[in-house]
Structure 1
Amino acid sequence: MTEDNAIVSNKSPISSIWLLPVIAALIGIWLLFKSISDGGVDITVKVDSAEGIVANKTEVRYKGFVVGLVKELDLEDLNTVLVTIEMNNTAKRYLSENSMFWLVKPDISLSGVSGLDTVITGNYFEFLPVEGEKQLRVYEALKEPPPESEDAPGLHVVLHAKELGSIGHGSAVFYKQIQVGEVYGFELADDAEYLKINVLIDEDYEHLVKLNTRFWNASGVEMTGDLSGFKIRTQSLASIVGGGIAFYTPETGDRETTATDFTEYPLFEDFDAARAGVKVVMNFPRESGIKAGITKVIFEGVEVGLVEDFVHNSEQGGVTASVIMDPRLEPYLLSEMQFWLVKPNISLSGVTNVDRLLSGSFVAFRLGGGHPTREFDVLPTEPPLSFDEEGLHLNIKAEKVDSMSFGSPVFYKNLKVGTVQNHYLNDDQRTFNVHLHIEPEYEHLVNSTSVFYEQGGFEVNGSLRSFTIRSAPLQAILAGGVAFHTVDFDKGTNVEDGHNFNLNRNLTEALNIESITIDASNQYEFVEGITKLKYGDKEIGQVRTIQPGKDLYSSVLTIGYQSDYKELFKESTKIWIVEPKLSSGNLAGVSALLQGSFLQVKPGHGEAKNHYSLLHEAPANDPSDPGLQLELYASKSFGIERGTSIFYKAMPVGQVDVVEYSDDGLGVKVSITIEEKYRKFIGKKTRFFNASGIRATANLRGLKMKTESLDAILRGGLAFSNDYADLSDKAEELDQFPLYATRDEMTIAGNEVEIEFDQAIDLLHDAHVKFNGYVVGRVTDVELNEDLSKTIVTAMIKSEYPSLTQSGAKFWFAEPSVSVANVKDPIAYFIGNFIKVIPGSGDKQTNFAGLTYEPAITNLPSGLNLTLTASRRGSLNPGNPVYYRQMQVGKVLGIELNQDATGVVIYANIADDFSHLVRRGSKFYNASGIDIDAGVFSGVKVTTESVDTILSGGIGFATPESDDNDNGKVESGQAFKLNETVDPDWLQWRPALTKP
């Protein structure tokens, strides 16, 4: 560089570095100004106690927003604590003389829980900011939150109360149990006679308060009750604990004009005191027992009034009471209203109005006409209803009224439908007229066919077969009453007020509205109201009156009977007397032993008739009688008599008409009648049997008892079965049927066979005939021939097994036997010896030669039947198992000698599920007993097919692998050799044999 290229510059007199202090000074000035302008304001709040207040922790809040913080605490004196608080700058303009501070801390009282958030955050000051003209820096803390301002939004009302009770600041105000406001203040009135309670109703609900609205103290629980029940009234849980006020607007009065601010209302003590009503005066009789504030006026179970107060009535006696009535009744308060006192009553009929035993009497009334009035006389008891009263009014003619008094109930089917209103003696001085009132909703139950009777006590009807006890309601049993029954709702006509009815002694007498007369001999004893008229087993009437006949040696009976049986009494109708008779087959006579003689009727034909002569015994059977007439024939009568029931499936369907000897004198003929509606159950092959008494059979297996029904045990009976009948082939009049001695005899009725055994056998009458364990017949007779060398057995084989009576069938004698190998026919130990049979396949046969040994069974209808040949039987027996790999797959059916007696033939059956295991190459061997192989060095080896084969024997077989034509499938009847022992190589075969 040369000197000519040098650049020369002049330096500024003030360096730029001095700008930094200037900027810093400006920032400091700005921060100082910001700190002063945004800084808080310190104020002092005086409190009574510093409990829960912590410096630099306790906050000042407004609606939950923090506007200040406690800085320090100091004592002004021993009673005052000075709390220095730094308030936010935003709150400066609200620190006026009108602003307020108070300390919020947890408070638990009956009214509820407040300040609950302080449990976590600690106590804090609540600030109520109010702008004002004068700024303050020192405040007195309020002891409680300030009350609502009188200009707070909502409706302000003032309530007058005698005492505050549990109502306090913040107590809720309810409308229909919804909180609609609260109490925000209270003070004594100027004269200190009552309290003024300031209430604020929320804006949303202020329209609910009208000029005639009524307020009451709803604090706690309001409970009223007596024996009829309890009523508990409360507004909410809060009002129960902390007090509250409720209000409602009555339906009467001005319900349109709403209240204005600071309208004053009385505060009633409870809801009942708050209710509006009409005041009336009632004159009560002596000893009425009414109580002010408790005795109520009740109409049809609804409370409509309350006795408010009463004074003694010096002129009439008793008391005169002031009663508040429901204003809705005001139009009905007329001079002809009837009021009466209802008291609890304890009598033989029970306790009435039991709910009034503790709560006292109440007043009931009946509406009436007349002019408006506010004063009434209260009667001591309910007055009778007049005929003008709504409902049906009837006159009942009765011989006595000892079971009927005013208010006694009237029943229909044990339902109370009315009451007895009044009764008086008629002009004849012998009967009474009883006024009954039927409630309007039940008057349609009465018509011209209705019958009335005394209701009370018990009515018993019955026989040895059954009996009924009819009981009146308990109220009628103890105190009496009247009941009625309407015979026909279709044919009966309506009745009007004042209609006359007769009163009967009981329902039976009341229903017997039809009548006949009977000429009867004086030799019989009849009792009015007791002697019955029966149709079959049904009581349809009874003797009403007994008058002497013209000859004085007879009597004329008037019989009342039920109208339902009017068609029984025709020209050919027969009526006879049933006298006491002790007989197992004659229930009518046995029943007469208990209830006396009675009359029996048999329906007839022709024109209607109402006068008869009494027969001394039951008439003979008439084939033209209704029903199906049949004739049964038996070897003896079995104790059956006329009237014995005939049962089908344990239900009576007919009866025996006549029991007499058959025409040949060798048996008995029984004429029976099956009721017409059951005729369809009798076919040409229907079987009848004796079902009387109890049939018992006993053996070592136990005791078995059979009977058709309890009726059949007591009185005997016949029954029939259609197990073998074709009901399309109906029986006709006077068809003849055999009568079997028992159901069992009837069941096995079929084909009779004769079996001749060539030796005497131990076999009893009624022994079983069995096939494969099933009873297929029964022995009916057992006889020895003249030289005692043979036994001839007669047996009945069920007809449904015809193959058992065909040629080729075999019968043999079965008795139990015990051996080491097995127990044969062990069931015979319990039921006795019996006959076994296997079917044949030829023509029908009735004579068979009986066997004393069991014949071989060669095949079964299912499974694979095989024939095995062996040189001897060994220990094999029918029933022994057939094994494959020690699993039983079949059984031995039978064993017999071959044709030339050089060996035996063994018949076996392999079950269907295992028939594929047998192939042409299969080897069969005798698996009975034990195979023992012993050696000095090899030890002892014991081989057996199974434990069972050790004692009873058995057969095993093995099948080789299918590698040649000799191993193909076999058919039933295939013959195999039965080897004495098993080849060890056979046991090693493992063919895969799959079931096809």
Structure 2
Amino acid sequence: MPTNLNSSTDSTSQPVIAPARSISPIWFLPFIAAVLAIWILFQNITHRNVQISIHFTNADGIIVDKTKVRYKGVIVGTVKKVELDEVDGVNVIAEIESHATFLLKEKSKLWLVSPKASLTSITGLDTLFSGSYINILPGEGEDATEFMATAEQPIIIPDNALLINLSSTNADSITVGTPIFFKKIQVGEIARVRLDKSGKHVNIQAFIEKKYSSLVKQKSKFWNISGLNANLSRSGVEFKLDSLTTLIAGGITFSSPEGSASTDQDKVYQLFENIADSQQGLSITLQLNNTNNLPKRAGILFKGHGIGRIDNIRYDSASQLFVANATINPAFSELVTESAEFWVEQAAVSFSKIENLSNLITGDFISFSHGDNYLNEKQQTTFMVKSDQSKETLSLTLIADNANGLSENAPITFKGLTIGHINGLTLSNDSQHVQVNMDIDQQFAYLVNQDSKFHLLSGVNIKASVQGVEVDSKPIQHIIQGGIALYNPTPSNQETAPLTEDRNFYLYASKEMAKLGKDAFASPLQVNLLSKELPSVSIGSPVYYHKLAIGEVSALNLHDSSLMQTTININPKFKHLITEQTIFWNISGFSVNAGLSGIKVDAQSLLSIATGGIALAFSPDATGNKTQNGAYRLYNSYQDATQPLKQITLLYDDASDLKVGNKIKLKGLEIGEISALDLNNNNQVVVTLDIMENYFDKVAKQGSRFWIVRSDISLSGAKHLSTLISGVFINVAPGQGQVSKQFVGEVAPPTLDKDKVGLSLILTADNAGSTNIGSPIYHRKIQIGEVTDKRLNSNASGVEIMINIYPEFSHLIRENSIFWPASGFNLDIGITGAALKAASLTSLLKGGISMSTTDNKPLQPAAADYSTFKLKSGLDEDWLDWKLNIPN
């Protein structure tokens, strides 16, 4: 019987459906490796270095693997090989970095930079340390790998510069790089100098910087200002040197006419040898009756200053005149107008007149003057030259007691300048006086006013008195022919109202009498001075006001009060100086103060040493300057009269080196000196200081500190060496407390100034090394603090170094800052040489500590007072690269 397969089913024979399996992750590794290999290959192809060949005539200064190729100071390649060229010279194989391959074009230029020195320049000094290198200037064209080196650095023409062409008969010190000036400011330079095809001219190409290109016009003229020009003629020897630069390197300058159009690129300018050949300036024509002693190239002078020169002279038969062509300097051309005058300055030698003696050797010259209203006049170019200057004059009359020292044509002067002359001498109507007629040149007429005074200016004046013998010698011209001088009590200018009415002036015998004026014959003012002792003066000794003698001593007597009385006579003109506030003091002889601080000699003048003297001045605060009977007190010195000294006392256990006379100083200023040294009951040294009154209130306060300053010589330096000669002194640091006149002196300066006390920190180390008290604390080689103390720690296992960070730098110290020794030096010896490194000379001698803060972490909080840090034993070079930004 057939079996029914469907009648029964075995549960174990049912099919099991399983999910499909995905690709294994292990297959991603070969894929990633393939991508990286392709990327590396791409980078290698696109960023590979390029080798180039540079042909040099020789390989001096080129070293394989050391000589670099640079562009704008950046290293872009290195020399890898040097080989001989089969024909001539050498080929230098250099490897150029991939990022700089854009510089390698057909017209790129390469040259060797090495130190060079000449009269005109010094270049390549940096190669003394780094060695020679090859510089590259990119050009245009296709990519290239073979180049011909240029012999020297090419001239680089700035962008948009104006190129101009010059032509000259010779180069005459003009070379590539010669500067071009305009009004002595460099505006360009020469780029190329070549002979033309004919060989008769020199073609010069130059450029003008863009900002100055507008100065070059169609009618501009260029001329050479190189070297030293000399001209020898009858008119003298003329030297012209534009500048030291042009003497050595040459130079060119040019004109820029205002009315001319701008230049164009095709215009060729002629380069003249000098400004005269360029015919710059105003051309004028001068007509003369004769040319006696007037040389060719004679100068034209304005107030003694050369403004032009005669170019040539010819004779015109039609006018029977000599015609001179002359050139006026452009700076003075506006003065040459319708009213201008030209005349010949000739030599004159006589007892009444001595002028222009040098003309006898050099020849005459032309003088020039302009009109008063030249700014509103038209320019004129033809003039008739006069034999002398025709001048309008102001006629005056002087009344003199006699004619001694006067002569006709004698000069009238003002401050040494001749402003007129004497016309004649006659007797007055009453025959009691001499009448002097004189003419003042119109251009100086404004100097004469109602208050003007005239005095004799002739001969040799000899004045003998108790003060000595005074000889006053006038110039030879005045000795021969006499003269008169004008003196104005108040300054005069051209705006001063001129003399409006005729008046006679009195001729005084001397300037001193003229200064006195109407008071010349007045009685002097008599003043009595009282003093305990008779001053070292004698009758006739001078009385001074600001070193001006205004009187003299007239008598010495014993006053009824048993005081010594000195009577002085004050010149009438200076009576106003004697007031209720006037003070008098003795300046007789000289005083000598000798001590360890040196020898001080005090004397007012040589006259006061010989004859004695008295001085006076005003003192608004004067209260005791007069006695009860109305006489003035005579003080021993100006200081006694104006600034009585005030005293401060210092207490010292030992006052070694202190002497009477040692100075007291405040911030380098001398404010007093030691006046006494004594012992008190406790055997302490009492030092008495005399302090100037105007400084007393500043230092006589509680909290002020006084210490002795001596010379200090040690390995860390030398201080106050001057005290070895001048002696020690006491320095003062003012306090801020109440008034005090007694202090405890200090023998050494305070460790820290008050304004430098800042953040106090503790550094721990195994030993103190070369660190000393006062050693500097550095941050980036800037001192930010100093060591204040060092000591063993509590168990003597190490040391603690106390440091002070100055207030303005305290924010630099953070909780994670580190410190290391900056003392001594490191010697690094290698193939390239030896390098000696030290933080500073101070740290080398005195020791020091450096600090920095890592930039690998965020900015930490500022360190607190007396925070402790570990002093590292040495320097890690990475610390020097930290550049953490620390705000203030």
Task: Give your verdict on TM over 0.5.
Answer: no
Measured against the shorter chain, the TM-score band is 0.3 to 0.5
TM-score normalised per structure 2: 0.44
TM-score normalised per structure 1: 0.40
